């Protein structure tokens, strides 16, 4: 960190025309164990302005924590003859498994729709790459449904007042990590926004993984699925036999 700050200070001394972000995260590795009930990830950092001079109009900050993307199929259910059946469906090639954004002000006050779409700022600006050939209106309907499902499960979050900026140069934001968060490599992005434009950006990586018995089960299911299935069936049979024997004895 000292070397990074020294290099940035030297850059500013040479007369860099743009501000620079120096971001960090409270924990670059989040471990999930059997007792994991969620966590709070702190994203913080400093804004270094050219020659140390802050602008007359303070800049805003938006931070994004994004999980690995996945291909996902969204199905629409319809009630037919009193039963809920799968009807239409749409597939998206690159939906993020987790997405959380916090900003110092509402995004609608910071950037226009075009800029939001370029940097994927906000749930309405996610680029999920539809894989079906449906009409744009239908694709939008399924995309809105997917976002709503993810939001209700706590995997998509938007906080328009989640970033605090002190003295115009230090910022911090807290993002909640739910208990059922998908594992993988996450990307924490920080954007400095001024006069409707993104004037600086920085990226940090966060690894969320499982430890202990949960890690063993995940690896076994992924690398040895057949053996894992046999062990799971055998374990279920053993538990059922043991429970039956115990009840017969009583």
Question: Rounded to an integer, what distance in angstroms lies between the CA atom of residue 190 and that of residue 171?
Answer: 10
Q: Which CATH class is domain 2-210?
A: mainly beta
Mean pLDDT for 141-160 is 93
pLDDT for position 28 = 85
Return the residue matching tokens 């024997």. 245
Question: Rounded to an integer, what distance in angstroms lies between the CA atom of residue 176 and that of residue 74?
Answer: 25
Q: Which residue has the higher pLDDT, 195 or 56?
A: 195
pTM of full prediction above 0.85: no
Question: Rounded to an integer, what distance in angstroms lies between the CA atom of residue 147 and that of residue 128?
Answer: 10
* DSSP code per residue over 121-151: -SGGG----B-S---HHHHHHHHHHHHHHHH
In the predicted model, is pLDDT for residue 124 greater than 70?
Answer: yes
Q: Please provide residue 30's backbone torsions phi and psi, each rounded to the nearest 5 degrees.
A: -105, 120
pLDDT for position 54 = 84
Distances in Å between the alpha carbon of 158 and those of 64, 99, 183?
Answer: 9, 8, 20
pLDDT for position 46 = 95
Mean pLDDT for the chain?
A: 81
What is the domain partition of the chain in residue ranges? Answer: 2-210, 212-250
Q: Are residues 89 and 74 in contact, defined by beta-carbon separation less than 8 angstroms?
A: yes
In the predicted model, is pLDDT for residue 199 greater than 70?
Answer: yes
Q: Which residue has the higher pLDDT, 137 or 230?
A: 137
Q: Which residue has the higher pLDDT, 150 or 179?
A: 150
pLDDT for position 248 = 66
* Helix (H) or strand (E) run with residue 230 in it: helix 225-249
Return the residue matching tokens 């998509």. 156
Can you read off the two tokens belonging to residue 10? 């030297």
Can you read off the two tokens belonging to residue 175? 């993002």
Mean pLDDT for 148-170 is 94
pLDDT for position 223 = 54
Can you read off the two tokens belonging to residue 128? 């999920």
In the predicted model, is pLDDT for residue 237 greater than 80?
Answer: no
Q: Are residues 196 and 72 in contact, defined by beta-carbon separation less than 8 angstroms?
A: no
């Amino acid at each position: 960190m000292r070397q990074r700050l020294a290099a940035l200070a030297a850059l500013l001394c040479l007369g860099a025309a743009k501000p620079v972000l120096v971001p960090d995260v409270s924990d670059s590795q989040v471990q999930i164990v059997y007792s994991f009930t969620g966590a709070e990830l702190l994203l913080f950092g400093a804004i270094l302005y050219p020659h140390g001079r802050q602008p007359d109009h303070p800049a805003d900050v938006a931070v994004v924590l994004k999980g690995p993307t996945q291909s996902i199929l969204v199905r629409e259910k319809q009630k037919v003859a009193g039963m809920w059946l799968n009807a239409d469906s749409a597939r998206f090639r690159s939906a993020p498994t987790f997405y959380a954004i916090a900003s110092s002000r509402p995004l609608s006050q910071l950037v226009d729709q075009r800029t939001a779409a370029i940097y994927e700022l906000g749930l309405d600006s996610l680029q999920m790459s539809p894989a079906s050939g449906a009409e744009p209106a239908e694709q939008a309907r399924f995309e809105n449904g997917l976002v709503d499902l993810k939001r209700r499960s706590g995997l998509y979050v938007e906080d328009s007042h989640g970033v605090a900026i002190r003295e115009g140069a230090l910022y911090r934001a807290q993002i909640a990590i739910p208990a059922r968060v998908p594992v993988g490599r996450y990307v924490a992005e920080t954007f400095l926004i001024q006069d409707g434009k993104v004037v600086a950006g920085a990226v940090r990586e966060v690894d969320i993984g499982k430890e202990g018995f949960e890690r063993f089960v995940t690896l076994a299911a992924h690398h040895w699925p057949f053996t894992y299935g046999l062990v799971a069936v055998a374990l279920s049979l053993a538990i059922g036999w043991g429970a039956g024997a115990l009840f017969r004895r009583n």
